[in-house]
Amino acid sequence: MSSNCSVTTLQLDSIGQTEPATVHLLPCEIEHDGPAEVSRFFTATIKDRKHEKTVSFRGRGLKGQEVSCPQGYTGLVLSEVNKPGSDQEDRTVKVSSVFHNLTYWNLETPPNSDDGIVMAMAWPDLAEAIHGPLDD
């Protein structure tokens, strides 16, 4: 962006020190950015039967499924090392955890192959087909 001339540095060497994270993608926007009691309230109440995961969040029924990151890709959870005072300052982010799969949740609807996140995972393959070098 032209208005933002700051440089963002990603500290990749922090990868080695991280634990793999369990990631849940919820079908809502939560106005919160910080720690949450996920295992106490959420993970503990997930029901996994007949290939269907169910849980509820704030009294609403969710149905979920696990998706894997595309082959050759790793999911990263990044966190800011020092919060910059203005958007002109340079920023440094480190990898706080990595993940190879995540559980995404739909509001009431059973997960299916038309869900955005499932379809999005096909992009790397498609990109490779479009942009990759030709074999021959």
**Which residue ranges make up the site for other proteins (CB under 8 A)?**
1, 4, 8, 27-32, 36-37, 39-42, 44-45, 47, 56-61, 78, 91, 93, 107-108, 116-117, 119-120, 123
| C-beta closer to other proteins: residue 30 or 136 | 30
Collapsing DSSP states into helix, strand and coil, what is residue 124?
A: helix
Q: Residues 60, 45: contact at Cβ < 8 Å?
A: no
| C-beta closer to other proteins: residue 7 or 135 | 7
CA distances (Å), 20 to each of 15, 39, 42, 44, 45, in order?
10, 15, 18, 19, 21
Compute the least distance from the CB of residue 100 to other proteins, in Å: 19
Compute the least distance from the CB of residue 4 to other proteins, in Å: 6
| C-beta closer to other proteins: residue 15 or 107 | 107
Compute the least distance from the CB of residue 101 to other proteins, in Å: 18
Give the position of tokens 């991280």. 18
Question: Sign of the CA dihedral 82, 87, 90, 95?
Answer: positive
| C-beta closer to other proteins: residue 2 or 71 | 2
Rounded to 5 degrees, what angle do the CA atoms 64, 51, 70 make?
60
Give the position of tokens 């440094």. 92
Compute the least distance from the CB of residue 118 to other proteins, in Å: 9
